[in-house]
Amino acid sequence: MGASTALALTDRGHTVTLFDQFETGHRQGSSHGNSRIVRSAYPDPFYEEIMLDAYHHWSRLDERFGGGLHYESGLIYAGHRNSINLKTMRDGLDSLGAPYEVLLPADLQRVFPAFQLEADEIAVYERRAGWVNAHAAVSSSIQMAESQGAQFVKTRIEHPGELLREFDSVCLCMGAWVKDHDAVDAQVIGQTFGYLDVDQPDHHGPV
């Protein structure tokens, strides 16, 4: 978020200083590694709305970088046909006019043989979703911001409010470290994810 904010502000002609307690490309945050999912299908209408707006920004960043950042491989959400999360997600997509398909077990088996659903499960298929090369996206965003005059400073900010003595505006994109500051009432949680090691991954379809 910090790298994207810095690039967006330099694109608009602002003078930007980007502070980070670690070097560019570190693995201490949530946006490192080869891949992060990009989708508009969330069980939260607010996220769905802002993600629809974000799609063209990902495509534009990919074009500016020369490719290799953004991949629209499609995405499958699967669960019980009466799942509240699936219903909320579909209601949100419907309200925004966002395209998706509902696949029954037999339909999914024909399209993506690697996925097998139970009889009472369905899959929501979002064709435009996919993944982003997270490390490359962060690094390229910072590089492009710096090429437009942004400065990168490696330091830990203990008291963000003091920055207002030097800057007219401050944007905090601290992730889990936001809990270290009394001004923000936040609870930090961890969410576990996993990758499947499969034969011939090109044949296994979407995220």
pLDDT in tens, 20-58: 998 887 888 778 888 888 888 877 778 888 888 888 888
Statement: residue 201 has pLDDT above 70: no
Amino acid at 20: D
Mean pLDDT of 76-91: 91
Return the pLDDT at 117: 93
Instruction: Give the CA radius of gyration of the chain.
Output: 20
Question: What whole-number distance in Å separates Cα of residue 41 and Cα of residue 92?
Answer: 8
pTM: 0.80
- How many other C-beta atoms can be found within 10 angstroms of the C-beta atom of residue 73? 14
d(C-alpha 182, C-alpha 160), whole Å? 11
Report the mean per-residue pLDDT for the chain: 86
Question: For residues 202 and 176, what is the distance between their CA atoms, to the nearest angstrom?
Answer: 34
Encoded tokens for 62:
């990919």
Q: Rounded CA gap, 128 and 80, in Å?
A: 23
CA distance 78 to 42: 12
Taking alpha carbons only, the member of 128, 178, 132 closest to residue 35 is: 132
Q: What angle do CA 7, 97, 79 make, to 5 degrees?
A: 95
**By the 8 A CB rule, do 70 and 164 touch?**
no
**Residue 153's pLDDT is what?**
94
28/47 Cα distance (integer angstroms) = 24
pLDDT digits (tens, 9 = 90+) for 106-154: 999 888 887 889 999 999 999 888 889 999 999 999 999 999 999 999 9
Confidence of residue 19 (pLDDT cuts 50, 70, 90): very high
More confident residue, 132 or 198: 132
Which amino acid is located at 106 in the chain?
A
Contact 28, 38 (CB under 8 A): no
The residue ranking higher by pLDDT, 76 or 189, is 76
145 close to 16: Cβ distance less than 8 angstroms: yes
pLDDT bin (cut points 50, 70, 90) of residue 64 is: very high
Which residue from 16, 98, 2, 5 is spatially nearest to 57, judged by alpha carbons?
5
Q: Where are the alpha helices (DSSP H) in 97-177?
A: 105-111, 134-147
Distance separating alpha carbons of residues 176 and 190, to the nearest angstrom: 9
